[in-house]
Amino acid sequence: MKILVINAGSSSIKLALYTWNDLNCIAQGLVDFGVGAGSAEISLQYHDGVSKTRVPATSYREGLLSALDSLKNAGVIESNTEICAVGHRLIHGGETLREPVVIDEEVKKIIRSFRPLAPLHIPAGLEAIEAAESLFPWAVQTGVFDTGFFADIPPAAYLYPVPYEWYTEWGIRRFGYHGTSHRYACERAAEMLDRDLTSLRLITCHLGQGSSASAIQGGKAVTNTMGFTPLEGFMMGTRSGTVDPGIITYVQKHYGLTVEEVEEILHKRSGLLGVSGVSGDYRQVYEAAKAGNPRAKLALEMYAYRVRAMLGALAVTMGGVDALVFTGGIGENARELRADICRGLECLGLELDPERNAHATPDAEISAASSSGRILVIHSREDYILAREAKRLVEKREKTDVASVKASEK
């Protein structure tokens, strides 16, 4: 038996295949629909090789089916029927869905209701669920919600200083995102530090195309830099992050921008792209900065400054920090950015070792020997959390079914 893990984005699907008994990852892949109309590029890594193919695909179902065919051709699986559970990463469950769930029609209905809050992510997640249901009707579909990790954030942290009725009547509050990544990062950090997670004050910093940080105390999230939507917080690839809300009403009033135009600009034409004028891809902006592009240099300076400032605020909410964790595609690989962010965090007891940072490969420690707080780089493994929770939910469901049968026999 095997568990298929799906992390669906707006133009791609990350997938992983896990064995049931020991939760060993035997294959990982990416189905990229951004390579041309009517086609997808499938990149796979498995036990004894890698493969990359371009196939006709116009839907998530076709892309997934082609990826599975490639895994069968490589001998990773013999039949689709080996897949007994499918674990989905889902971005938003609101206050209703806080724990991992078995997905049914009611769950899909609730997820659909949050579409306006994450218009890039939620439709993709729902399409992936429907594709998996079609391909594996016998398998149990499970979901882990990014927002669920932040269920214990206190009201003082999740409420905004606006009329209280906005929360009670409209549900406006901080939710937090990237919860699956933050969950794995804090658990792995505790292992690396050989400490009980409940004894630690951690800041987990997920830096990717979308980025956020979480303050985690006693094993529970205290707050997250993202808010009601994934637009708040750090400057990101194409997202603005936190800006003065007065700017929004100002450009609407004085320059005639519509609500739709402002929303599109803040989500897709801001961040690294908006400032640099080069790209929303950190790597391309970094190369442009090295080549002397002044706006690219400014964009990177702003990025590091805003991350550093928010990390300081998170540390203060906990009265200090025992360890800072970098994770996510940028956090794991951009050593220059890590150095820029940490420059100034010495006042929090976080001192970077330049040599360790320059040569670090996740999972690794990059703090100096004299640093009272630890600095770690951890490979993000959201897929493992999804597989683990899928197995737990299936086993729980089986135990419940057995108990029901025994009760009916009495």
Distance CA 123, CA 81 (A): 27
Catalytic positions, written as ranges: 146
Distance CA 50, CA 43 (A): 7
Average pLDDT across the chain, whole number: 93
Contact between 86 and 142 (Cβ < 8 Å): yes
- Residue 363: cis peptide before it, omega within 30 degrees of 0: yes
Q: What are the pLDDT digits (tens) for 150-184? A: 999 999 999 999 999 999 999 999 999 999 999 99
Q: Can you tell me whether residue 235 is helix, strand or coil? A: coil
Contact between 321 and 301 (Cβ < 8 Å): no
For the whole model, what pTM was predicted? Answer: 0.91
Task: Please spell the DSSP secondary structure of 371-405, one letter per residue.
Answer: -SBEEEE----HHHHHHHHHHHHHHHHHHHHHHHH
Mean pLDDT of 24-53: 88
Binding-site residues for substrate, in ranges, read 89
Q: What are the residue ranges of helices labelled H in 194-349?
A: 245-255, 259-268, 271-276, 282-290, 294-318, 328-333, 335-342
In CATH, what class is 195-379? alpha beta
What CATH number was assigned to the domain covering residues 2-145? 3.30.420.40
- Sort residue 328 into left (φ over 0), alpha (ψ -120 to 50) or beta: left
Contact between 272 and 299 (Cβ < 8 Å): yes
Model confidence band, residue 48 (pLDDT cutoffs 50, 70, 90): confident
Q: Which amino acid is at 163?
A: P
Distance CA 119, CA 116 (A): 5
Binding-site residues for ATP, in ranges, read 14, 206-210, 281-283, 329-333
- pLDDT over 70 at 138, yes or no: yes
Number of Cβ within 10 Å of residue 49's Cβ equals: 10
Model confidence band, residue 265 (pLDDT cutoffs 50, 70, 90): very high
- pLDDT over 80 at 262, yes or no: yes
Mean pLDDT of 200-219: 96
CB within 8 A of 295, min separation 6: which ones?
275, 276, 277, 278
Domain ranges of the chain: 2-145, 195-379
Per the structure block, which two tokens stand in for 95?
């206050």
CA 243, 94, 252 angle in degrees (round to 5)?
Answer: 30
- Residue 115's nearest CA partner among 10, 206, 32 is 10
Contact between 105 and 141 (Cβ < 8 Å): no
CB within 8 A of 116, min separation 6: which ones?
none
Number of Cβ within 10 Å of residue 262's Cβ equals: 15
Per the structure block, which two tokens stand in for 125?
């997640």
CB within 8 A of 124, min separation 6: which ones?
8, 9, 10, 60
Q: What are the pLDDT digits (tens) for 9-26? A: 877 889 999 999 999 999
Q: What are phi and psi of 48, to 5 degrees?
A: -130, 25
Distance CA 400, CA 224 (A): 35
Number of Cβ within 10 Å of residue 152's Cβ equals: 14
Range of weakest confidence among 59-73, 154-168, 253-267, 271-285: 59-73
Q: What kind and span of H or E run contains 191? A: helix 179-193
